[in-house]
Chains A and B, each alone.
Chain A
């Protein structure tokens, strides 16, 4: 079996994989990182979103070996111990999560967006999560959370 070596949430990790394994299953089943969710299995909803070299990908259709040598960030890589990442904290403060299943994907899409564009307009935020489907929230509080996170990360403070 080939070995997949990558930098996973900042740490070097190696794991044996089948050539046909998809990244989401390696993360969930071989590495025990269940924060990345499988919802559609077709790359159509974004629940399985992870970052590969800082860019969002739908890990349910991403061959695991494609990530060879890359930096991969899953939802588990954001918080530092008990300290939530500002994006996560903003989601909590604005009461964005309902059932929570789409949330890891949403948070990572938000991270990729804010890393590239720290001062996004509302339209840019919406475009940034246009590949993430949610059935509970109607998206508004998620957009609010990302706006709040952007303000806070830019040092502008801001209460929900």
Chain B
């Protein structure tokens, strides 16, 4: 399967190895996707560069109003973090629904992003939070919006043979802001979703000031319902607003028939249901009805 398995001690060292092996080496984090893909012959690289022992990549913390999550953070750690629960609740909920406990203990949130599947719960949550990823390459490090990392199904713009994501960040949610995650799947654990919806909202005096709605899988990449979000701005935060925004989101989404996920019509209808439910919860949270986000 592989010819070598390495533990670099720094990001720089990892990038050096990638460079030296010239396409033969790639980054591995938890390996929950990669091990299977390698067995199936779908991974070209022969050298695995395991980043899970690099110091300084295991943080979940706040700095200057932003939440930073290191590349080593597992789904379990993100889901269990009281900090994420209060500063970016949708992400905690999303990470808590991936696979089962064993997968969540090993699989990393960053790995979920790099794997670039449109059904990935964590990635949809990050998209809703307008998160950014710090991409490290030998030629330089830069921040890139998570939403721009998707080149297609299973294809991330970050080439794991050349670069790695060191951390994620998003603006911490505070008073007057709320977020929620809704998921539809064929059973209640150990399964990819038919659909998930992640929303983030911000209110000022009962009026929506900020909104972002991310959905997957309805396209080859995470889908951001911009029409629905734009419509919400300036509206009174109530049930009818949630309903109309959900309707707009469903209108914009164009899922197709899938043997695995169902008919186009059902999937489109479920977009309306899940977005409406997520918006209702997020708006309630933002209004302080459901114990909103904690202050620092």
Contact = CB atoms under 8 A, between A and B. Distances in A.
A and B touch in the complex (CB under 8 A): yes
Interface of A: 2, 18-20, 22, 42-46, 49, 55-58, 61-63, 65-66, 68, 109, 112, 127-128, 130-133
A130 B100 CA distance: 6
Contact of A66 (B3, B52, B101): B52
Given A19-B48, A46-B102, A58-B102, A68 B35 contact: no
B2 A20 contact: yes
Contacts of A109: 101-102
Contacts of B240: none
B27 to A, nearest CB: 13
A43 B101 contact: no
B31 interface: yes
28 contacts: A19-B1, A19-B3, A19-B4, A20-B1, A20-B5, A43-B32, A43-B35, A43-B102, A46-B100, A55-B76, A56-B102, A56-B105, A57-B102, A57-B105, A58-B102, A58-B103, A61-B32, A63-B28, A63-B35, A63-B48, A63-B50, A66-B52, A109-B101, A127-B101, A130-B101, A130-B189, A131-B103, A131-B190
Contact of A20 (B38, B100, B101, B189): B38
B177 to A, nearest CB: 28
B100 A131 contact: yes
Interface residues of B, number: 26
B7 A68 contact: yes
Interface string B87-118: 00000000000011111011000000000000
A131 B105 CA distance: 11
Contact of B36 (A55, A61, A66, A130): A61
